[in-house]
């Protein structure tokens, strides 16, 4: 029987918590940005596009360092949030979640944007002529139709968060119980003599978690796709 | 009463159209690209015209001078699109009730059960749109628009994407719809048959402009409207009364212009009912003497009211038969050899089999029509 040691349990729980929060918190802004990028016509759209997709092309270490500069204890945003709202990111699990959210954001936005682009705008017009205000059109037509995209984007962003290493370790370091997620724990074990077996056990856990997420997304996507009549 | 005046530029296309109508079914007729869809899109609020005044029963929907623009979801102008546009994530039943949900209870009319019965879609309620045939989709789309309790119904070529069999399947439903509900309708079409059968008021469009407006029979009797006269289905629309059904030969006898018209049996109509008949100009022959020993059953006497301009070898002739117009499409050679001129008495010979089921519509419809039984649904 495969039982987890307390350290492994802590790392796994932390990883799941970080990934879950990163995904859930980035969904609303991701949806907003995807709508704006897909539908909006305004000056500076390509700049916004560039900023959103920057973490995809930058080395993760650079992203982590930029986050440290902005959201660190003395960073302009970090100091503002700590003074006014009591929100601290530096060297906390919340910081790890922020790093994961930023790294997963381009994947989420891309998936949402593609599904928004694929919507037949005529359906939204039809809903409007039937008396639905723009808000209701979004809730009753747009949102249900992009559900497969939301699921795909969420899973991608979750998987990215589970595997995030460079930005996390640069921004919030590698503190057991606070910021030590599965990847950073594996890294730590590979750095100490005799840690290979522990690293291998964690690797197996990571594989199981990621595989489960993928299978779950396939299953949910299939059901949703069937319901809305899209061949998934 | 709807009043429409729209000026709008779409790329290199210039839309500049005005019309008003208090008809029950107003057809916007014209070739593809004549601006019909742009015009109804302006009425429905799908486009924002550069310069426009649109009002419905006195309420202003768009007035660019006064900077009034009522959003599409507040107009209560429901749309039936050519491509149905049913919501794929909802069942047929949910689709039907979608617009109803957004209508204030005080302004709702019609019940789901009535509309379902009217359109014959009861067996589809639990299905999803992707499992429906084209004709079924279109019927559901019509029901969905009706149940939004609109003040105006816009139908943008609702039959254009269907094959002939599906069209024939839906047309009777449309006729019932127009007979049994009171919602004024703008019906966009490039089909003479549909217009002749369904519309009481006709607006003819060409190149972004309105060429003619008026009662369907009057406009269709004109010889100077190329959008019509160029088509092989061109012909007059007349009103006739059913005298009797003849079972032994499978025919129906109509009273038309003081004469009798024998046509293939019209099962759907009662004796005494009024029907409209679309007689294609190319199905009418002319004779200067009363013909006899002819296989054609129908001979109507009339005088030539107008001979249209020559187009190649062809000329269209309009006859006056006791006040109603009949069009005949004959060769220029025949006009000359028979010495046809305005005022000549002639006999129009119409082949009964030329008047197939497609050419008959129910009696005339008027906004306050006393001759039709209008049931508010």
Q: Which pLDDT score is estimated for B373?
A: 31
Does residue A211 belong to any structural domain of this protein? yes
Query: pLDDT: is B343 or B366 the higher one?
Result: B343
Q: Which pLDDT score is estimated for B371?
A: 34
User: Each residue's pLDDT tens digit in chain A (232 positions)?
Assistant: 577 788 888 888 899 999 999 999 999 999 999 999 999 888 889 999 999 999 989 999 999 999 999 988 888 888 888 888 878 888 888 899 999 999 999 999 999 999 999 999 999 999 999 999 999 999 999 999 999 889 889 988 998 898 888 899 898 888 888 888 888 888 888 888 888 888 899 899 888 888 888 888 788 877 777 666 554 3
Q: Copy the structure tokens of residue A62.
A: 């650079």
pLDDT band at B166 (very low <50, low <70, confident <90, very high): confident
Span B291-308, pLDDT tens digits: 887 777 788 889 999 998
Does residue A57 belong to any structural domain of this protein? yes
Does residue A215 belong to any structural domain of this protein? yes
> Does the domain spanning B2-220 belong to CATH 2.40.110.10?
no
Contact B40, B156 (CB under 8 A): yes
Between chains, do B103 and A136 touch, taking CB under 8 Å as contact?
A: no
Dihedral, B367, B372, B375, B377 alpha carbons, nearest 10: -60
pLDDT band at B358 (very low <50, low <70, confident <90, very high): low
Q: What is the 3-state secondary structure (H, E, C) of chain B?
A: CEEEEEEEEECCEEEEEEEEECCCEEEEECCCCCCHHHHHHHHHCCCCCCEEEEEECCEEEEECCCCEECCHHHHCEEEECCCCCCCCCCCHHHHHHHHHHCCCHHHCCCCHHHHHHHHCCHHHCCCCHHHCCHHHHHHHHHHHHHHCCCCEEEEECCCCCCCHHHHHHHHHHHHHHHHHCCCCEEEEECCHHHHHHHCCEEEEEECCEEEEEEEHHHHHCCCCCHHHHCCCCCEEEEEEEEEEEECCCCEEEEEECCEEEEEECCCCCCCCCEEEEEEEHHHEEEECCCCCCCCCCEEEEEEEEEECCCECCEEEEEEEECCEEEEEEEEHHHHHHCCCCCCCEEEEEECHHHCCHHHEEECCCCCCCCCCCCCCC
Write down the mean pLDDT value for chain B: 85
Contact B26, B219 (CB under 8 A): no
Q: How does strand B68-69 pair with strand B59-63?
A: antiparallel
Between chains, do A140 and B78 touch, taking CB under 8 Å as contact?
A: no
**Is pLDDT above 60 for B368?**
no
Q: Which pLDDT score is estimated for B356?
A: 60
Give me the CATH topology for the region B235-362.
OB fold (Dihydrolipoamide Acetyltransferase, E2P) (2.40.50)
Domain count, chain A: 1
Span B111-165, pLDDT tens digits: 899 889 888 899 999 999 988 988 899 999 999 999 999 999 999 998 888 888 8
CA distance A212 to A218: 10
**Is pLDDT above 70 for B207?**
yes
Please tell me what DSSP assigns to residue A140: I
Between chains, do A229 and B144 touch, taking CB under 8 Å as contact?
A: no
Q: Which pLDDT score is estimated for A112?
A: 94
| Nearest residue, CB atoms, B89 vs list A120, A130, A227 | A227
Q: Which pLDDT score is estimated for B91?
A: 93
Residue A51 sits in which domain range? 6-228
- Closest chain A CA to residue B78: A129
Judge if B2-220 and B235-362 fold alike in CATH terms: no
Q: Which pLDDT score is estimated for B359?
A: 58
A134 to chain B: which residues are within 8 Å by CB?
73
Domain boundaries, chain B: 2-220, 235-362
B42 to chain A: which residues are within 8 Å by CB?
none
- CATH classification of the domain holding A23: 1.10.3720.10
**Is pLDDT above 50 for B239?**
yes
pLDDT band at B279 (very low <50, low <70, confident <90, very high): confident
CA distance A98 to A68: 11
Scored b (16 or more CB within 10 A) or e, A15-54 reads bbebbebbbeebbeebbebbbbbbeeeeeeeeeebeebbe
Span A71-86, pLDDT tens digits: 888 888 888 888 888 7
- Closest chain B CA to residue A144: B89
Does residue A1 belong to any structural domain of this protein? no
Between chains, do B148 and A136 touch, taking CB under 8 Å as contact?
A: no
* Residue B254 burial class via C-beta count within 10 angstroms: exposed 0-12, middle 13-18, buried 19 and up: buried
Span B11-48, pLDDT tens digits: 888 999 999 998 889 999 988 888 899 999 999 999 99
């Amino acid at each position: 029987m495969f039982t987890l040691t307390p350290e492994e349990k802590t790392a796994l729980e932390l990883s799941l918590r970080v990934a879950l929060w990163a995904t859930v918190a980035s969904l609303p802004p991701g949806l907003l940005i995807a709508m704006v990028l897909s539908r909006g016509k305004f000056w500076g759209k390509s700049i916004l596009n560039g900023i959103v997709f920057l973490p995809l092309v930058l080395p993760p270490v650079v992203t982590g360092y930029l986050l440290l500069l902005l959201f660190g204890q003395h960073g302009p945003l970090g100091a503002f949030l700590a003074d006014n709202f009591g929100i601290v990111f530096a060297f906390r699990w919340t910081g790890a979640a922020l790093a994961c959210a930023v790294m997963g954001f381009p994947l989420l936005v891309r998936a949402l944007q593609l599904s928004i682009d694929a919507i037949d705008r005529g359906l939204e017009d039809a809903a409007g002529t039937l008396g639905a205000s723009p808000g209701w059109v979004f809730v009753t037509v747009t949102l249900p139709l992009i559900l497969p995209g939301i699921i795909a984007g969420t899973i991608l962003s979750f998987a990215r968060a589970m595997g995030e290493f460079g930005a996390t370790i640069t921004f919030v370091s590698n503190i057991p119980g606070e910021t030590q997620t599965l990847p950073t724990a594996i890294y730590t074990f590979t750095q100490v003599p005799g840690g290979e077996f522990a690293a291998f056990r964690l690797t197996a856990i990571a594989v199981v978690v990621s595989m489960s997420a993928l299978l779950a997304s396939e299953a949910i996507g299939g059901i949703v796709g069937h319901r809305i009549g899209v061949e998934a | 009463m709807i009043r429409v005046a729209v000026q709008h530029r779409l790329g290199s296309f210039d839309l500049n159209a005005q019309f008003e109508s208090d008809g029950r079914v107003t057809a916007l007729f014209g070739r593809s690209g004549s601006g019909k869809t742009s015009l109804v899109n302006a009425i429905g609020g799908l486009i924002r015209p550069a310069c426009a005044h649109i009002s419905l029963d006195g309420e202003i929907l768009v007035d660019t001078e006064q900077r009034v623009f009522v959003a599409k979801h507040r107009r209560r102008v429901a749309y039936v699109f050519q491509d149905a546009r049913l919501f794929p994530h909802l069942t047929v039943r949910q689709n039907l009730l979608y617009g109803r949900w957004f209508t204030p209870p005080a302004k709702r009319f019609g019940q789901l059960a009535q509309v379902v019965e009217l359109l014959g879609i009861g067996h589809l309620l639990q299905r999803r749109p992707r499992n429906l045939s084209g004709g079924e989709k279109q019927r559901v789309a019509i029901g969905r628009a009706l149940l939004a309790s609109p003040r105006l119904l816009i139908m943008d070529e609702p039959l254009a994407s269907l094959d002939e069999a599906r069209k024939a399947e839906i047309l009777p439903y449309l006729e019932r719809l127009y007979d049994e509900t009171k919602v004024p309708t703008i019906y966009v079409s490039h089909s003479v048959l549909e217009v002749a059968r369904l519309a009481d008021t006709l607006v003819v469009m060409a190149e972004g402009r309105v060429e003619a407006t008026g009662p369907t029979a009057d406009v269709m009797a004109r010889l100077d409207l190329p959008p019509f006269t160029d088509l092989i289905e061109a012909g007059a629309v007349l009103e006739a009364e059913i005298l009797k059904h003849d079972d032994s030969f499978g025919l129906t006898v109509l009273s038309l212009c003081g004469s009798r018209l024998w046509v293939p049996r019209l099962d759907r109509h009662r004796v005494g009912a009024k029907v409209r008949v679309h007689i294609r100009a190319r199905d009418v022959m002319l004779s200067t003497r009363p013909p006899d020993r002819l296989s054609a059953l129908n001979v109507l006497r009339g005088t030539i009211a107008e001979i249209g301009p020559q187009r190649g070898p062809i000329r269209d002739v309009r006859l006056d038969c006791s006040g109603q117009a009949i069009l005949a499409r004959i060769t220029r050679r025949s006009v000359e050899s028979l010495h046809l001129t305005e005022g000549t008495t002639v006999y129009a010979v119409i082949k009964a089999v030329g008047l197939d089921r497609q050419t008959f519509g129910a009696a005339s419809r008027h906004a306050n029509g006393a001759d039709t039984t209008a049931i508010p649904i």
